Structure 1
Amino acid sequence: MYYIGVDLGTSAVKLLMMDEKGKIENIVSREYPLEFPQPGWSQQKPEDWLNAVIDGIKELTEGFDRSKVAGIGAGGQMHGLVVLDENDNVLRPAILWNDGRTQAETDYLNNEIGKKKLSELTGNIAFAGFTAPKILWMKKNEPELFAKIAKIMLPKDYINYMLSGVFCTDYSDASGMLLLDVKNKCWSKEMLDICGVSESQMPKLFESYEVVGTLKEEMAKKLGLSASTKIVAGAGDNAAAAIGTGTVGNGACNISLGTSGTIFISSDSFSVDEGNAMHSFDHADGGFHLMGCMLSAASCNKWWMDEILKTTEYAKEQADIDESKLGKGHVYYLPYLMGERAPHNDPQARSCFIGMTMDSTRADMTQAVLEGVAFGIRDSLEAAKAMGIDVKRSMICGGGAKSPLWKKIFANVLNIELDSPETEQGPGYGGAILAAVACGEYASVKDACDALIKVTSTQKPDPEIAALYEQRYQVYRSLYPALKDAFHKM
């Protein structure tokens, strides 16, 4: 049988099809536009996602026996606000995870409702990217549209709804809305009241590996698939990527270097760090996880290469940075192109270079960008350490992880071993694995991961380089506090 995984990303949807043994049979990608109507705003049309998924699945399955497609599972960009009216019309473009328009609403939740109260209700505090502040923003700024809301959902849930007709979400994705009681796995009535919405407007909750329905007849005909094809609840992109790298069970860790950067630590039990720097979410394996998310990771390198250096030769730009230079740079880079989430929770934070001298080179600046992103992930790792969590190794995936140099920098900045999975398909592979579990191919998510996930290489830290980076990290972590006031005055 075949299982389709949907990775509904920020710039494109990536679809893959695997067989029951985890072999990837085909991969396709479809891009769609991203809108920035005002500085710091970020939104997309859900209809563009749907069209890309439909076209992509058609191409993905072309030449294969489509009757053997048993299930579809999606991993999607988290936190985005998708709102439909009573006739299922999309009311406005989806406000995305990296949108920073909701500072006033975020401040209201954190300061007026109170971080302690939010943490008690949801396990988390408010971040500008989360869904609840977006709902409050819409209530204040678009009251006529707000009054028409019949359904509130997340990006991948819109796809599942259009495919199956079932209004649903999963616990991992719902955890990032600031509307879910994460510990008890139910909607928080008090949070819904605070946002002025009702439980009837919220989707039904499922575990990520549960079947929510099957393809609607008209959608099955459009895709050329059987109407018995199962639609699986799926997961938020980071939880799905964790499944795709086998990051399940207590203490497993995964670092993802995509547009955003995350460190994801799986746990059997629910926990919250003292300062709420880490997100406390439900996991796609049925357990829980801690996650630190920085808004700009591989996108920092893309911005530096594409917009500033005007080059597409990423590897060439890194060629002059040999091991002898690691830990010895004098230039620092703060990776806050879109503000920052963990650990600062500051949409006004901005990216900058600091420490340049007359002998600073192009390569020094490139090295600083790579190191700055690694230092940003280290910030979240430090929050986990403060909770008594000892991470000695981690999986690493995402576009940035394709750079051997960047992996080496990360291993030494974090001072842990980094494993690379055989299949580097993150959320899409995780979605397909969840579909296979839902269809009965495997007894549990852990059984599936044990059978399918293989490590191809391990990057170990060098004690001398790690010691140098320890010194540099201590300087790095002093920079944001020193510059915070200036960022806000800008």
Structure 2
Amino acid sequence: MSYIGIDLGTSSLKAILIDDDQIVLAEHSVALTVSRPHDGWSEQDPRQWSEAMQKAIGSLAEQADLSAVRGIGLSGHMHGATLLDASDTVLRPCILWNDTRSSHEASLMDADPQFRNISGNIVFAGFTAPKVAWVKNHEPEIFAKIAKVLLPKDYLRLLLIGDHVAEMSDAAGTSWLDVARRDWSDDLLAATSLERSQMPRLVEGSETSGILRDQLAQQWGLPKGVIVAGGAGDNAASAIGAGVVAKGDAFVSLGTSGVLFAASDAYQPDAASAVHTFCHALPDTWHQMGVILAATDALQWLSRLTGQPASELTQDLGTLQAPSRTLFLPYLGGERTPHNDTNIRGQFLHLDHSTDAKQATRAVLEGVAFAFADCHAALKSTGTTIERAVALGGGAKSEYWLNVIATTLDIPLLVPKAGDFGAALGAARLTIMAVNNAGIDVASLPPIAKTIHPDAVLQSAFAQTHERYRTAYDVLKSL
């Protein structure tokens, strides 16, 4: 048997085909674009997603025989507001996770104690509920037509199975879910002038959400009766792909945004810390995340500024060095954990005539690591202990960066062997569970190529520079 995992990312949609031994048989990615019509806005046309899925699965069919496929799993970027009318027509472009236009609406909702009490989280401007509240305030004619609110990957699910379904890990990032009870909160929906009928039904990530439409099965060369699993939001799916499923397991992800993720067997919210407390993709499990909005995005910003590709900026950095006097605060589009500040912006500090591209690169890598250290401290404040973490994401290809992060966080980082152990694999693993009624053993730790240990000699220097970084943030905040 074989299984398809689809990951709807911000910049691309990726599909993989794996067999029962989790060997990747075929894969394909399709690039996506983001529209930014105004400052702080970030949108995508869901038609892009549909077209990209068609291309990706079409490519899998060219690379391999899909007649043995038994299931499809979905992963996707979280928090997006995909608004549909009664005929399932998209009403407007999807407002994405990194869109901050709804900061006013988020503040008003967060001031209502029931949101933190029930959802277990601060109402961040990036979450779904304040985005829909913004639509109500600024596009009332569209709000009046809303029949269903779907998260991005669940719009793809609608196309696949013809039903409106979400799963717990993604739904937890809407500000409408009772995260402890793993169900929609009628009170939180009512507080935003919505009702349960406008929400998709809920399943666990490892459960069946529906059956692939016969028309699509025939078009793609799949058999009838292919199961579509619940799947997961991108970070929970990445955790499944990396084997981060039990208490004490963790990963650090260096993608467009940065995530420090820890699995848990209990619901232990601490909204004031700005730590995200969400359902995991498996029943009766939860997870906590510290999220920074610019990780590799900060490096890409420096790449555009210098005209050098990010790969060139990070090559030949040599062995780990003590941080320089130059500081970089990576708040290019605001920040989540622990600051919850949509208005703060990044800064370079202590530049001089000798600062060159390499020094600026090191400062950016260090600044992102210090932001991760702030997340780590926030997670610690909730009682979560991280003793080691799997390193994921495109930025994890830089060993220098991993050395900086391991030394700053004072934890070893496990680097998987060559291969993709991210969200697409996690989605496919959840499909194996759904099709075969299998347990968490499916989501094992990937083979580890090496372990990056903290540099004991330089730890003190990095700790002192992190304190300077925190002071710089306090000064910036006061301006």
Could you say which TM-score interval applies, normalised by the shorter chain? Answer: over 0.9
- Structure-2 separation of matches of 1:386 and 1:274: 11
- Structure-1 separation of matches of 2:172 and 2:159: 22
Tell me if 1:262 matches 2:235.
no
Distance 1:44 1:253, change over 3 A: same
Deviations 1:273-328 (A, max 9, x none): 262310010001220000111111111111211x111122x343234533252x33
Tell me if 1:471 matches 2:464.
yes
Structure 1 unpaired stretches of 5+: none
CA contact (8 A) 2:122 2:271 kept: no
- Structure-2 separation of matches of 1:328 and 1:308: 22
CA contact (8 A) 2:110 2:116 kept: no
- Structure-2 separation of matches of 1:141 and 1:301: 34
Give the SS at the match of 2:324: coil
- Structure-1 separation of matches of 2:253 and 2:195: 34
- Structure-2 separation of matches of 1:317 and 1:255: 22
Tell me if 1:447 matches 2:444.
no
CA contact (8 A) 1:58 1:224 kept: no
2:297 corresponds to:
299
- Structure-1 separation of matches of 2:115 and 2:314: 44
Corresponding letter in the other structure for 1:81: A
CA contact (8 A) 1:124 1:276 kept: no
CA contact (8 A) 2:121 2:270 kept: no
1:482 corresponds to:
475
- Structure-2 separation of matches of 1:390 and 1:324: 26
Tell me if 1:282 matches 2:279.
yes
Distance 1:465 1:45, change over 3 A: same
- Structure-2 separation of matches of 1:147 and 1:389: 43
1:365 corresponds to:
360
Deviations 1:205-256 (A, max 9, x none): 1100111111112222332322311111110000000111000111111111
- Structure-1 separation of matches of 2:44 and 2:134: 17
Pairing of 1:202-351 with structure 2 (within 5 A): 202-273=199-270, 275-286=272-283, 287-305=285-303, 307-312=304-309, 314-323=310-319, 325=321, 327-351=322-346
Percent identity between the two aligned chains: 40
Corresponding letter in the other structure for 2:427: G
Q: Displacement of 1:341 after TM fit? A: 1.2
CA contact (8 A) 1:215 1:226 kept: no
CA contact (8 A) 2:421 2:446 kept: no
Corresponding letter in the other structure for 2:441: D
TM-score, normalising length: structure 1: 0.95
Pairing of 1:419-438 with structure 2 (within 5 A): 419-422=414-417, 423-438=419-434
Two-structure CA RMSD over aligned residues (Å): 1.4
1:176 corresponds to:
173
Tell me if 1:456 matches 2:464.
no
- Structure-1 separation of matches of 2:134 and 2:195: 17
Corresponding letter in the other structure for 2:318: D
Give the SS at the match of 2:272: coil
Give the SS at the match of 1:62: helix
Deviations 1:21-64 (A, max 9, x none): 01111110001221001011000011110110111101012242
Q: Displacement of 1:141 after TM fit? A: 0.7
2:4 corresponds to:
4
| Matched pairs, number | 477
- Structure-1 separation of matches of 2:27 and 2:219: 20
- Structure-2 separation of matches of 1:141 and 1:333: 36
Q: Displacement of 1:425 after TM fit? A: 3.7
Distance 1:311 1:362, change over 3 A: closer
Runs (4 or more) in structure 1 with deviation over 6 Å come to none
Give the SS at the match of 2:173: helix
The worse-fitting range, judged by mean Cα deviation, of 355-364 and 405-414 is 355-364
CA contact (8 A) 1:273 1:384 kept: no
CA contact (8 A) 2:73 2:231 kept: yes
Tell me if 1:55 matches 2:51.
no
- Structure-2 separation of matches of 1:239 and 1:63: 28
- Structure-1 separation of matches of 2:469 and 2:328: 8
CA contact (8 A) 2:84 2:149 kept: yes
Deviations 1:179-220 (A, max 9, x none): 000011111111101111110000111100111111112222
